[in-house]
């Protein structure tokens, strides 16, 4: 009798597993629910495949529900609800419906079902993929090791002077080199912090606080960039202080990523060096007093009541996941976009709107007329002004300068075309030619400045 019942159950399970491959989504859904309610261990792998690959979201949800029932059964057994579990499985087997109890359930079949459930729990649970029960059963947090905030703060304490001094120097160097781009000269009397040493951690601290080790590496990168930039500044000042735009752009380029990360580095240091309020530390903040049997001066002779140490649970330290993140802005997109504009309007493109309008005004200055008055399409090739993202503009000064130069050039070229169209109609091309040649020449020079800045960025 038991063998017959066992064979019948197995056949039902295999029939339902076959139904998981039905073309009818409703049949697949019903089969997934039945297999879950019946705790059909042989179907776990098939249910996982349905959960991952079935095109119907309702069927996938039913598979997740079914897989969740294996853990639900486990929870019920652990809570002493064996009768409820047996009744549920028996109902599914005897009537083939969910949520109904059979009128005549066999005790032997119920026991057999319970044994199969136990087999599922012991042998099949590991087959479930990670995250399959998301949304079916609540997640149980898995606390990690507590953080020794005091120890971490002590480990990074020596970072602060190096970080502050290197940051200050880089800002000063940034102002000096961008000043050259604006037409100023180097101020060789500018103040700099000196003797900026790299930071370090002991091997033990590096292993215990990996986020502090990452911060140390980033700060040391900052120190290297600062030393190279200050070396360039000193060399120029020692040679008399002369510096042109290409040299300033080349000096700024290696500083770009370091400058954009200054705030992130300071934020990371602030987090790692702070002990959150109310969070107990893992180590005592003072040496414990030595035990002694001698009476303490001023104390009464009456002994204090003893406290059972085992009955007092130590406070559990709060588990806080560190959120240190050093964000790096990638200037590559803006660099590529600006190069595209430079190539479109610069002298290197003889059929571009910059080179052609210069040619037309030059022709007009000689003969008072030009075939350019018949050109009605080139002006439409002038690109729109480039909008550099604010965070990139603040972080990468040479890109900000390049965008400014490009937009100045575009405004001037657009203006030269507008004036040219009007002069073609009025007939005063020769009168305006020399002034407009100067406007376009200055615009093309701005394009070349932008190109120099961008090339320096690309090369570094």
Which residues touch 352 (CB under 8 Å, ≥6 apart)? 344, 345, 346, 378, 381
Q: Which pLDDT does position 90 carry in this prediction?
A: 55
- Could you tell me if 186 and 233 are in contact, meaning their C-beta atoms sit under 8 angstroms apart? yes
Tens place of pLDDT per residue across the chain (460 aa): 445 555 677 888 888 889 999 999 889 988 888 887 777 777 777 877 888 788 888 888 887 777 766 655 555 555 555 565 555 555 544 544 444 333 334 444 444 555 555 555 545 445 555 554 444 444 444 555 678 888 898 999 889 889 888 888 888 888 888 888 777 888 898 888 887 889 999 988 888 899 999 999 999 998 999 999 899 999 999 888 888 888 887 888 778 777 777 888 888 888 898 888 766 555 444 444 444 444 444 444 444 444 454 444 445 444 444 444 444 556 788 888 899 999 999 888 888 999 999 999 999 998 888 988 998 888 888 999 998 888 777 778 888 888 989 999 999 999 999 999 888 988 888 889 888 998 899 889 989 988 888 888 777 6
CA-CA distance, 25 to 293, in Å (whole number)? 80
CA-CA distance, 378 to 413, in Å (whole number)? 12
Q: How many residues does the chain have?
A: 460
The tokens for 439 are 């406007």
Name the residue among 176, 210, 208, 19 with its Cα closest to residue 96.
19
Domain layout of the chain by residue ranges: 2-127, 149-272, 332-459
CA-CA distance, 169 to 277, in Å (whole number)? 33
For residue 255, the 8-state DSSP code is G
CA 195 to chain centre: 34
Residue 71 DSSP SS3: helix
Q: Which pLDDT does position 394 carry in this prediction?
A: 76
Return the residue matching tokens 């890109």.
399
- Could you tell me if 312 and 304 are in contact, meaning their C-beta atoms sit under 8 angstroms apart? no
CA-CA distance, 120 to 45, in Å (whole number)? 12
CA-CA distance, 389 to 165, in Å (whole number)? 28
The tokens for 212 are 């502090």
- Could you tell me if 24 and 54 are in contact, meaning their C-beta atoms sit under 8 angstroms apart? no
Q: Which pLDDT does position 137 carry in this prediction?
A: 45
- Residue 180's Cβ-count burial label (10 Å; 0-12, 13-18, 19+) is buried
Return the residue matching tokens 């139904």.
19
How many angstroms separate the Cα of 304 from the Cα of each of 28, 290, 307, 311, 443?
72, 18, 9, 17, 89
State the pTM of this model. Answer: 0.42
Q: Which residues of 257-294 are buried (b: 16+ CB within 10 A; e: fewer)?
A: bbbbbbebbeebbebbbebeeebebeeeeeeeeeeeee
CA-CA distance, 267 to 360, in Å (whole number)? 55
């Amino acid at each position: 009798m038991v063998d017959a019942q066992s064979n019948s159950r197995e056949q039902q399970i295999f029939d339902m597993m076959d139904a998981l491959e039905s073309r009818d989504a409703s049949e697949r859904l019903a089969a997934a629910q039945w297999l879950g309610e019946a705790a059909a261990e042989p179907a776990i792998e098939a249910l996982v495949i349905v959960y991952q690959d079935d095109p119907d979201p309702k069927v996938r949800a039913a598979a997740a529900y079914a897989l969740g029932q294996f853990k639900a059964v486990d929870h019920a057994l652990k809570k002493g609800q064996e009768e409820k579990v047996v009744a549920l499985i028996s109902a599914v087997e005897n009537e083939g419906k969910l949520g109904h109890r059979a009128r005549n359930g066999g005790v032997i079949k119920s026991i057999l079902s319970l044994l199969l459930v136990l087999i599922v729990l012991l042998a099949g649970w590991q087959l479930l993929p990670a995250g399959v029960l998301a949304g079916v059963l609540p997640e149980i947090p898995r606390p990690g090791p507590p953080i020794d905030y005091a120890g971490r703060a002590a480990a990074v304490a020596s970072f602060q002077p190096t970080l502050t001094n290197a940051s200050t120097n880089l800002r000063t160097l940034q102002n000096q080199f961008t000043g050259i781009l604006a037409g100023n000269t180097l101020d060789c009397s500018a103040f700099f912090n000196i003797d900026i040493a790299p930071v370090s951690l002991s091997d033990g601290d590096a292993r215990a606080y990996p986020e502090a080790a990452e911060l140390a590496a980033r700060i040391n990168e900052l120190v290297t960039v600062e030393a190279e930039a200050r070396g360039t500044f000193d060399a120029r000042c020692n040679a008399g202080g002369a510096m042109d735009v290409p040299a300033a752009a080349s000096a700024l380029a290696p500083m770009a990523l370091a400058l954009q990360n200054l705030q992130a580095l300071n934020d990371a240091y602030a987090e790692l060096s702070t002990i959150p309020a109310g969070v107990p530390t893992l180590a005592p903040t003072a040496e414990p007093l030595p035990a002694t049997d001698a009476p303490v001066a001023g104390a009464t002779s009456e002994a204090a009541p003893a406290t059972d140490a085992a009955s007092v649970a130590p406070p559990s330290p709060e588990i806080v996941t560190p959120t240190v993140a050093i964000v790096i802005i990638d200037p590559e997109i803006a660099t590529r976009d600006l190069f595209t504009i430079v190539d479109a309007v610069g002298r290197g493109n003889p059929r571009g709107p910059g080179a052609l309008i210069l040619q037309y005004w030059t022709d007009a200055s000689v003969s008072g007329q030009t075939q350019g008055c018949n050109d009605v399409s080139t002006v439409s090739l002038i690109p729109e002004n480039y909008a550099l993202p604010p965070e990139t503009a603040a972080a990468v000064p040479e890109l900000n300068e390049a965008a400014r130069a490009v937009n100045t050039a575009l405004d001037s070229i657009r203006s030269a075309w507008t004036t040219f169209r009007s002069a073609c109609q009025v007939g005063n091309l020769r009168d305006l030619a020399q002034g407009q040649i100067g406007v376009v020449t200055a615009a093309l020079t701005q394009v070349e400045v932008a190109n120099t800045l961008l090339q320096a960025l690309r090369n570094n």
